[in-house]
């Protein structure tokens, strides 16, 4: 990365705060009162041991994000959950850079819930998602580090009676040419008495020592020795374990239950009806699980969803014959299709997908009637906190929400209705005794419990002129809205279009004069949710696979065909060229290997994949290698970027190759990792990641790696077998190499 | 009926329902929470521990079957192989969410104890039962090779 490109970054404008935040919060918190947002901003006593020490004036804590302690540690307060995507390391990198701290002295601590101090500038409340973790914090956390550094320097200057301008800071050491030196810890208390600079100077990017270079993960050591504490790992004396027997059909309600057999299990304390089903409380996990199986519940399924996946797909497919609500239109497609020399059409089917993070949903609540503590891997703290207030009937300041490490999310922990926090609070309230209660979802609860990536069907119809140029493109999507009925609806559903249903399709980057994208949205009683990369999980495949079908009919090379249509899209073209070059695009392949390419932008980051694929005996798809190029603006931590691409590709490939949730008569057919098949070691391809040097502001990397491998692999299979990948996962189709 | 299990070198007496999976004995009774719950059905490997030196899924071992035996958990691993594996994991920054990694590390130690220089095929066979939803497989493979070099 050149100095001049870093120089451009330095001039990036501050992120704008959206105006809808307050309204949003009030909606989310379920009308718990207008004083809530201010109440939530009240200091949270007892949150964070180091934060508490800083509050006592024994450390340098000039802002909510950094604490320099006399023990020479620098604690970075993380406003965002780290569920694996590297937010802790990323935010720590920003502080360490401007503070000139040493990696070894950095500690991290999750921030308490506070929608003002710890808001995500992209949302206006506290929470993370949409791959915004680092992009919205870039200036804020750098400034936090620079502030602490300026105060340490001022304290050194005062102590040594030397000009501040002559004092240097490097790798956690403050020094002067005269030989005087001090650690951060030695000056922390003195520095706390210095004035807090209003606008501390940020580094000239050419002087960066960590940003854009290397800063190892801060969480690696605790994650390889078992000491990282996840929600499920919280153990308290007298704690009860709660599990819930949930309805077999979405929307069914408890009509009666018989707990006699369940209550006979030693360790079972009580069985309670809650809005979500029937909860078993026991003094150990095994007793709870055993009793759960013995509980007899009869369900009222009069209002339940009873349709299966096949029926839902059939309804959506019928809709594809009629125009939907317009998401984008340009030119005149009717006339263009009339003049087309060739028209091709393809329908695509995408199944429900479970996120299936390794740590199933869970939440610990201690509620004594007047106050509560909640421990959970909270991704949307403001939402979870507000929901807890609403259920427990407490003011925000009476609840401490402790964010802890989360065992994956992929969207699953960012729930607009905070349902599993509500469940835990409902149980605590119903039980009514002030003991900690740990609600645990089993894997079966997770796989059968909904909140899936919705089923979508797509139809793309495209026309080529006699020279093989695309002159018409009609893209129709039918599916279920993720946002409708949630607190986010007002912000994200405009004129009947849920942006998450069409993103990636309505933003098709290719220069096509006559184009229409439209949408049918159906109500289905299956709860759905964003799944890593959201709309791109389906739109990237439909669009990018179609482009290869068109390139073939036009007799053009897939990379060259795309580049011709991307003349005004330099960042798409940039990653496409880089991936093609690094993969050896155009070079002959050994027999039995096929190659495909795809490019897609999501969350402001541009990703291209070249996939090398073969078929194992019986036609099973084996992805051999993925070459990935990404343009995410300035890569703050290149190794974290690479890790997110590797993991994103693996996550996407699992869904591409074999994952699907299917319903029959409304019942989910998969229950665990046997039926819901996920990516495993032997299926993982070799992956190479290449990062485009960039001057643009940093954009997200948690999601954009996920959607591109699917169409790249499908395009490789198309080239090698002639088979179109129209039904997902690929295990539903038969591929056979062309002879 | 009480069981006596040697856990991380220490004899522990446990009074659990004899059917209780070792996983929950470790987590609930002994508060050794490094061993994770992922599926409860031996399908994900998050609960991998060593039973008499062999990598097993603790969700499938009943307390009565662990009686009188030696269990090593992530908290108690020691020796050159364990050190090399954990060091390689840190060097390559394998972990993302980290929830499955104790199980991955236990399986990797089990593999390297049996096969000091595993091939990619050996790694596939030994590690296929350990799911990582962050899909850190790419780095797990590299870290196993790295650890093998260091031993």
A616 in contact with chain B, both atoms CB, cutoff 8 A: no
Q: Is the pLDDT of residue A579 over 50?
A: yes
CA distance A729 to A503: 21
With a CB cutoff of 8 Å and minimum separation 6, the contacts of A335 are A514
Question: Among A122-136, A177-191, A405-419, which is the least confidently predicted range?
Answer: A122-136
pLDDT for residue A56: 60
**pLDDT over 90 for what percent of chain A?**
88
Angle in degrees, 0-180, between the axes of helices A709-721 and A638-657, rounded to the nearest 10: 50
Give the pLDDT confidence of A37-55 residue by residue, as tens digits.
Answer: 333 333 333 344 555 556 6
- The answer to whether the Cβ–Cβ distance between B99 and A407 falls below 8 Å is yes
Encoded tokens for A366: 């201690």
By Cβ distance, the residue of A220, A358, A648 closest to B93 is A220
Could you write out the DSSP letters of every residue in A586-616? TS---TTEEEEEEEEEETTEEEEEEEEEEE-
pLDDT per residue over A643-678, tens digit each?
999 999 999 999 999 999 999 999 999 999 999 999
Which residue is closest to A625 within chain B, CA to CA? B138
- What's the token pair of residue B111? 């593999």
Percent of chain A's residues with pLDDT above 70: 92
* Chain-centre distance for alpha carbon A105: 29
Report the DSSP pairing between strands A621-631 and A686-691: parallel
At residue A129, the pLDDT reads 87
Question: Mind telling me how many Å the CA of B94 is from chain A's nearest CA?
Answer: 7
Q: Mean pLDDT lowest for which of A111-125, A278-292, A349-363, A597-611? A: A111-125
Angstrom distance (rounded) from CA A325 to CA A706: 28
Taking the Cβ of residue A407 and every Cβ of chain B, the question of whether any pair is shorter than 8 Å is answered with yes
| pLDDT one digit per residue (tens) for chain B, 151 residues | 689 999 999 999 999 999 999 999 999 999 999 999 999 999 999 999 999 999 999 999 999 999 999 999 999 999 999 999 999 999 999 999 999 999 999 999 999 999 999 999 999 999 999 999 999 999 999 999 999 999 9
DSSP A314: H
Q: Six-digit token pair at A61? A: 């804590």
pLDDT at A133: 86
pLDDT of the residue at A24: 44
Interface test with A, best of B66, B96, B107 (most A CBs within 10 A): B96
Name the residue in chain B with its Cα closest to that of A285.
Answer: B24
Euclidean distance between CA atoms A45 and A47, whole angstroms: 6
Query: Looking at A64-73, A114-123, A291-300, B100-109, which range is the least confident one?
Result: A114-123
C-alpha A470/C-alpha A472 separation (Å) is 6
DSSP annotation of A661: B
Strand-pairing partners, residue B68, are none
- The average pLDDT across A489-508 equals 93
Tokens of A106: 């950095």
- Adjacent-strand bridge partners of A497: A494
**CA distances in angstroms from A243 to A254, A385, A730, B39, listed in the order given:** 15, 21, 35, 14
Task: Using pLDDT thresholds of 50, 70 and 90, give the confidence band for residue A512.
Answer: very high
- Would you call B33 and A86 a contact, using CB atoms and an 8 Å cutoff? no
Contact B93 A287 (CB under 8 A): no
User: In terms of CA atoms, which chain A residue is nearest residue B30?
Assistant: A235
Q: What is the ipTM of this complex?
A: 0.98
Mean pLDDT of A381-392: 96
Distances (CA, A) of A195 to A188, A659, B74: 13, 57, 47
> Which uninterrupted H or E stretch holds B85?
helix B80-91
**Which of A89, A103, A219, A223 to probe the B interface (max B CBs under 10 A)?**
A223
């Amino acid at each position: 990365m050149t100095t001049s490109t870093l120089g451009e970054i330095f001039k990036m404008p501050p992120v704008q705060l959206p105006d809808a935040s307050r309204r949003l919060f009030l909606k989310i918190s379920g009308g718990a009162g207008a004083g809530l947002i201010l109440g939530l901003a009240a200091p949270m006593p007892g949150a964070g041991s180091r934060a508490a020490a800083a509050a006592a004036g024994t450390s340098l804590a000039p802002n909510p994000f950094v604490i320099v302690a006399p023990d020479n540690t620098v604690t970075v307060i993380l406003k965002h959950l780290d569920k694996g995507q590297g937010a802790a390391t990323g935010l720590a990198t920003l502080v360490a850079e401007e503070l000139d701290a040493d990696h070894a002295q950095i500690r991290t601590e999750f921030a308490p819930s506070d929608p003002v101090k710890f808001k995500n500038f992209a949302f206006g409340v506290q929470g993370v998602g949409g791959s915004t973790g680092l992009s919205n914090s870039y200036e804020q956390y750098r400034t936090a580090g620079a502030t602490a550094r300026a105060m340490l320097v001022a304290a050194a200057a005062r102590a040594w009676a030397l000009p501040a301008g002559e004092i240097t800071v490097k790798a956690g050491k403050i020094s002067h040419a005269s030989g005087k030196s001090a650690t951060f810890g030695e000056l922390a208390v003195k520095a706390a008495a210095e004035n807090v600079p209003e606008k501390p100077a940020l580094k000239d990017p050419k002087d960066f020592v960590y940003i854009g270079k290397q800063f190892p993960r801060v969480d690696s050591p605790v994650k390889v020795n078992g000491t990282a504490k996840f929600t499920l790992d919280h153990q308290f004396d007298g704690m009860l374990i709660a599990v819930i027997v949930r309805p077999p059909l979405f929307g069914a309600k408890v009509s009666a239950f018989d707990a006699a057999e369940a209550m006979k299990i030693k360790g079972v304390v009580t069985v309670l009806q809650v809005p979500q089903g029937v909860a078993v409380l026991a003094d150990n996990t095994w007793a709870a699980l055993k009793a759960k199986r013995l509980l007899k519940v009869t369900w009222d399924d009069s209002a339940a969803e009873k349709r299966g996946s096949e029926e839902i797909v059939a309804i959506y497919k019928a809709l594809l014959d009629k125009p939907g609500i317009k998401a984008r239109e340009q030119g005149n497609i009717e006339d263009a299709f009339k003049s087309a020399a060739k028209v091709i059409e393809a329908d695509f089917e995408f199944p429900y997908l479970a996120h299936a993070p390794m740590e199933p949903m869970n939440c610990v609540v201690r509620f004594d009637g007047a106050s509560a503590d909640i421990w959970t891997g909270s991704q949307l703290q403001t939402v979870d906190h507000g929901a807890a207030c609403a259920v427990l009937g407490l003011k925000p300041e009476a609840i401490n929400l402790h964010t802890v490490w989360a065992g994956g999310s992929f969207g699953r922990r960012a729930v607009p209705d905070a349902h599993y926090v509500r469940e835990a609070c409902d149980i605590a309230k119903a039980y009514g005794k002030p003991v900690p209660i740990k609600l645990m979802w089993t894997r079966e609860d997770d796989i059968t419990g909904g909140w899936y990536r919705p089923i979508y069907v797509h139809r793309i119809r495209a026309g080529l002129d006699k020279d093989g140029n695309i002159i018409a493109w009609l893209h129709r999507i039918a599916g279920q809205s993720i946002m409708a009925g949630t607190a986010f609806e007002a912000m994200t559903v405009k004129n009947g279009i849920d942006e998450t249903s069409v993103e990636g399709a309505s933003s098709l980057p290719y220069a096509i004069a006559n184009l229409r994208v439209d949408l049918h949205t159906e109500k289905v009683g299956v709860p759905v949710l964003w799944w890593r990369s959201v709309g791109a999980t389906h739109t990237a495949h439909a669009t990018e696979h179609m482009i290869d079908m068109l390139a073939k009919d036009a007799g053009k090379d897939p990379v060259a065909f795309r580049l011709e249509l991307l003349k005004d899209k330099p960042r798409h073209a940039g990653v496409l060229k880089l991936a093609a070059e690094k993969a050896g695009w155009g070079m002959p392949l050994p027999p039995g290997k096929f190659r495909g390419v795809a490019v897609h932008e999501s969350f402001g980051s541009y990703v291209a994949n070249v996939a090398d694929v073969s078929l194992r005996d019986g036609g099973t798809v084996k992805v051999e290698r993925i070459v990935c190029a990404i343009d995410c603006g300035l890569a703050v931590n290149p190794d974290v970027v690479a890790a997110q691409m590797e993991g994103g590709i693996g996550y996407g490939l699992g869904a591409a190759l074999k994952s699907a949730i299917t319903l029959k008569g409304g019942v989910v057919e998969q229950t665990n990792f046997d039926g819901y098949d996920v990516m495993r070691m032997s299926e993982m391809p070799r992956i190479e990641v290449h990062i485009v040097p960039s001057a643009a502001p940093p954009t997200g990397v948690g999601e954009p790696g996920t959607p591109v491998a699917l169409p790249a692999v499908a395009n490789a299979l198309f080239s090698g077998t002639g088979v179109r990948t129209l039904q997902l996962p690929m295990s539903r189709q038969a591929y056979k190499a062309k002879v | 009926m009480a069981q006596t299990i040697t856990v991380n070198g220490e004899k522990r007496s446990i009074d659990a329902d004899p059917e209780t999976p070792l996983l929950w004995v470790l987590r609930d009774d002994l508060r050794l929470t490094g061993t994770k719950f992922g599926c409860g059905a031996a399908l994900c490997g998050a609960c991998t521990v060593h039973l008499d030196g062999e990598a097993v899924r603790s969700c499938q071992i009943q307390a009565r079957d662990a009686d009188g035996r030696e269990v090593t958990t992530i908290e108690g691993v020691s020796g050159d192989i364990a050190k090399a594996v954990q060091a390689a994991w840190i060097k390559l920054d394998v972990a993302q969410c980290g929830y499955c990694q104790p199980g991955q590390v236990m399986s990797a130690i089990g593999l390297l104890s049996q096969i000091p220089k595993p091939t990619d095929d050996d790694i596939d066979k030994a590690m296929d039962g350990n799911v990582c939803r962050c899909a850190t497989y790419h780095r797990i493979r590299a870290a196993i090779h790295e650890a093998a070099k260091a031993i």
